Structure formats: C-alpha cells, structure tokens
Structure 1
Amino acid sequence: MMTADFLKERVAAIATMHRKERAIAPILAEKLAIRSIVPQNFNTDRFGTFTREIKRKGTQIETARLKAIAAIELTGETLAIASEGSFGPHPAIPFLPSNREVVLLHDRTMDLEVIGEAISTKTNYSHRRVSSVEEALAFAENIGFPEHGLVAIVGDRENEEIFKGINNSEQLADIIETGIARSADKKVHLETDMRAHFNPLRLQVIEQATLDLIRKLECSCPECDWPGFDVIERKAGLPCEWCHLPTSLMLAEIHGCKKCGFKQEVLFPQGRKTANPGECHYCNP
C-alpha cells in the first residue's frame, strides 16, 4: 500500500459548526485529493464549550474522536476529520499563553486513526473585567477586534448572560453599558472568542495541525507500511560537551507503529550530539 493513497478521492466529513473547514479542507484537497463535506445541523457544542456552559468530558484527543465518530454516524461516510483546541500556559514556557490544536483523522474502513498537532504562542487568548466602554474598547483593540471576536459575560454568577461573537463597536458598547448597570460590582467580564470562526489566529494553528496530520499520514512503518509512523516517546539525556554527563535535553526519539507495534530509535533528533555546558546542571548548577 502506497502511503496515504487509500485516502485519495475519498469524501471526508469535517466535524465542525464553526467553519474550521476553511483551514482544513483546502489542505486535504491539495495534498490528498480528498473532497470535504460539513454535516448539516451538527452541534459540536454538546462536546464542550470555551465559555464553560458545557464542560469537556474527556481529553482533547478523546473529544476530537467523539466528534469524528458522530460525524460519520450522521453523514454515513467512512472518513471524518475533527479538531479540538485548548488554551493555557505553554508547556515549555509557562509564562506565555499558548494554543494547542489537534486534528484527528478517523477512517472506519481502514480502522485507522492519525492525529496531527500544533502548539503556538501566537494567540490572543485573554480576558479582563472592565468598568467602562473605554476600557472595553481598549481591550478589544489589543486583541485584534473586530477581526477577532469577543465574548461578554453580564450579570452575577446566579443570573449571568453570555454574549458571543461580538464583532462591532456599537454592539460591544451597548452590551457593556447594559452589563455595568446589571452587575453588583459595576463590571463586565470580557474575553476573546476562541471559536474558530471568530478567531483567525486560531485558524492558522488549525492549519499547522492539519499539515502535521498530512506529514504523519505520509510517514509509513518500515515493517508493514502502515501510515502514521511517528514519535511515541522522547528520551532525555543528551551528554554535556564538557563533562559528558546526561542533561535534560533530548537524546533520542522512539518512533512507533500503531498497527504492528514496530519501534525505531532515532538518536539526536534535534541535530545536536552534545549539550552546551550552560545547559548542564553539573557544569552550570
């Protein structure tokens, strides 16, 4: 089997209600000749919302899988693509906010699942409590409004109302004025609308994750030729250039096949055979 050839000319259901197909479908068409459809009346909010009305029950990957399976069941297709995003501190640079996106391909015919991933610090993920229209407009300008939308939460916790997809100044001003009058502390909670159709920055990260998915589909197992042969484990221990003791830097990656279980170790995946002494806990305690 030629890698990913079995996907060519297939139809994929993209499990979205927030226009993620704008980021995903062109890449699928260009790289794999896949024709994409979007299920009608497909409610992805039932799997969790960024505005916290519905909590995500599983991990990012589990939620993306549930979306893909639901899209297959709704459309009758055998191939589906789903994505799921999360926002929080960067795993390696905790003081920076980051956006992690996964794009999952689920092929019922081949019993195949492959997951693309991208992590980016290029995000406007932010929130603020404001007490005037002027504060709200300043926050909006800082996050790239109106191309990037806003969410406002008005009222107290027991009686709050959520306004999503705010993307013009008059609408924002009206909501802020009404919200200040309703709130006991005379403030309104504002946050960036992280849904893909109101957040172009997030769409860019979804594109990166889709390209990573394509890359993995084109990597086949050396033993059985099954697609998706990729990193399953990373090993620290790159030796210090001076003392040769192991450091916390990456020494090797283990690539694995989900089909046959074959594994392959790749040494020095970042192209470095030694660590700088400044990165060694012994030489630079």
Structure 2
Amino acid sequence: MPLSNAIESDYCGQRVALLTQHGKQTPLADVLNSRLACQIEHVDGYDTDRLGTFTRDIARAGSQLEAARSKARIGMELAGLTIGLASEGAFGPDPVTFMLPHNLELLVWIDDRLGIEVVATASGVTNFAHQTVSNWEQAELFALAAGFPEHYLIVRPGHQDHPKFRKGISAWDQLAQAVDWALASSPKRQAFIETDMRAFANPTRMQNIRRAAEALAEKLLSRCPVCTAPGFAASGVVRGLPCEDCGQATAEVKADIQRCPRCDHQISVARERQFASAGHCNYCNP
C-alpha cells in the first residue's frame, strides 16, 4: 500500500485497542496498520465468549453491532486507550436466494477523541453447515465438504442442543474419536457435526474479516469536506428512481447518501443509472 495513504490518515502512530481471543488481530493488524499507520494492540484480558458463543451455550445479547460495541468498549477500558476496534460475525442464508450459507462480518471503530463511531461490513459465502450422522462414513463426507481439517469442526451427541460438545477439532484422528464418543453417548447412536465458526478455526471467515478491514480503512481515509473528520462515507440510500416507461418513482435506488459521523454533514450522490426497469414499477407492473 502506498505510504501516502498512511501519511494522510488521522491515525498515524495512534494505539488502537482490539479485544479478541480468536486470532482476529492478525488480519486486522495486517490491513489497518498498513493502511492507517496506526498500531493495533491486541487485548486478551477478557473472555469474549461471555458475550456469546457460536456453540450456543451462551446466547449473544443484543444485535451484532451492539455486541461489537461492547467488545470495543471493554478493550478500550482494559487497555486504557481512547480508540477501540472490535469485530463480530453473523451467519445464515444469503439474503438474495436464501439457499447458500452467508457470512456477514461487521467491524466497529470507536474514537472517543473525536466522538465518532465508524462501522464497516463485508459479506460472502461461507462453509457454515451442520449434519446429523449415524456412522463414520457420513461424518467423513461432511468433513470433506466443509473443508476439514483446515476448517475446524464441532461434534455433539445426538442433536444441536446437547449440552456436551467437543470443539476445535482440527485433525482426522481427533474427529474420529469425537464421532465415536458422540455416537456412544447418544441413545439413537447419532452425532451432530457442525462447522466451527470461530475466526481462527475458519480460514474462509478470516478472508471476510480481512475484506471488512479493507472497507473500514477506506472509510477512515475519507475526510468530511466540512469538519475534516475521518469516516465520511456511505450511510444510506435515496429511493425513487423513475420508471423508464411512465416516469413514476419506483422503489429502486437513485442516489447514495454520504454522511460525516462527527458533524452529520451529508451529501447525496446520484447513481449512474437514470431509469428503472418497468418491471420494477408498481404502476406499469402492478
């Protein structure tokens, strides 16, 4: 990355608290230290599993953003720093087809010096999956499809809500032992296998976290034209793109809103497309 980008950053030499116990400091520091010339400081004096786990034994309180904010604030307090960063992931069906598994990674950057909060996201496909199996052959097929052993696995007896489980499984002998244990512990001789979605255990997720870091860097390198604060970036859209046939407003996006997180100055940036397809018009295509 050109040095000029880092020199233009408000964060040259600034220390930034990052609370994580799942290895996120590697991709986040790689990207942000380079792009912003800041110093990401890994904070690990708090068990982040207390805020929620992917194994569902501790439910996440609040939204994805609220969980990330909590992590950032705890990290800032522990490190005694005024700038904090946190990451939170979410998984489910993709929002378009509802068929493929989808990963949304969210980063929040809190700067109490300037009184700003900047959020960036990245999303993409993931190996998020689970299956109930009755024998080793089924377990092996699932593991191969999930990208094991590079992607770790979790095994439970019987069903997804069983309170006992083995996680962090990263070798074939470990998996075989866990499956034997789960089958023997289940009255129906079944094992529930799922992907381990903790960041260090999932290279595909790590790629999305890195992409979110790139998006965050771009936002923090964009200054407000009024108060010069970092983080002047897209924050919403304006709908109402006119129909190509009748000219009436549709629900299609016609402009993007860019807003400053500090002074709230905002501008509307028109998109290149000037008309919406008649197929998206409630009048032409009711």
* TM over 0.5, shorter chain: yes
1:237/1:250 contact within 8 Å kept:
yes
Partners in 2 of 1:132 and 1:99 — Cα distance? Answer: 29
Structure 2: tracts of 5 or more residues without a match: 1-5
Structure 1: tracts of 5 or more residues without a match: none
Which residue does 1:105 correspond to in 2?
Answer: 109
SS at match of 1:272: coil
Partners in 1 of 2:84 and 2:50 — Cα distance? Answer: 18
2:91/2:103 contact within 8 Å kept:
yes
Partners in 2 of 1:280 and 1:223 — Cα distance? Answer: 38
After alignment, is 101-110 or 210-219 more displaced?
101-110
SS at match of 2:81: coil
Partners in 2 of 1:30 and 1:91 — Cα distance? Answer: 32
Cα displacement (A) at 1:8: 0.7
Partners in 1 of 2:270 and 2:135 — Cα distance? Answer: 57
CA RMSD after TM alignment: 2.1
Partners in 2 of 1:155 and 1:130 — Cα distance? Answer: 9
Name the count of aligned residue pairs: 281
Partners in 2 of 1:98 and 1:157 — Cα distance? Answer: 20
Cα displacement (A) at 1:156: 6.5
1:236 aligns with 2:212: no
Which residue does 1:74 correspond to in 2?
Answer: 78
SS at match of 1:5: coil
After alignment, is 4-13 or 168-177 more displaced?
4-13
1:185 aligns with 2:188: yes
Indicate how the Cα distance of structure 1 residues 157 and 212 shifts in structure 2: closer, same or farther if over 3 A, else same: closer
After alignment, is 271-280 or 257-266 more displaced?
271-280
Indicate how the Cα distance of structure 1 residues 163 and 243 shifts in structure 2: closer, same or farther if over 3 A, else same: same
Residues 172-251 of structure 1 mapped to structure 2, 5 A cutoff: 172-251=175-254
1:8 aligns with 2:9: no
SS at match of 1:68: helix
Partners in 1 of 2:19 and 2:66 — Cα distance? Answer: 14
Cα displacement (A) at 1:245: 2.7
Which residue does 1:275 correspond to in 2?
Answer: 276
Cα displacement (A) at 1:281: 4.5
Which residue does 2:3 correspond to in 1?
Answer: none
Indicate how the Cα distance of structure 1 residues 244 and 34 shifts in structure 2: closer, same or farther if over 3 A, else same: same
1:161 aligns with 2:164: yes
Partners in 2 of 1:282 and 1:185 — Cα distance? Answer: 57
| Residues 193-213 of structure 1 deviation map (CA, whole Å, 9 limit, x = unaligned) | 000000000011111111111
Partners in 1 of 2:178 and 2:100 — Cα distance? Answer: 30
Cα displacement (A) at 1:40: 3.5
Partners in 2 of 1:185 and 1:208 — Cα distance? Answer: 43
Which residue does 1:47 correspond to in 2?
Answer: 51
Partners in 2 of 1:34 and 1:233 — Cα distance? Answer: 28
SS at match of 1:6: coil
Cα displacement (A) at 1:252: 1.7
| Corresponding letter in the other structure for 1:36 | I
TM-score under structure 1 length normalisation: 0.91
Which residue does 2:255 correspond to in 1?
Answer: 252
Aligned-residue identity in percent:
39
Partners in 2 of 1:157 and 1:133 — Cα distance? Answer: 18
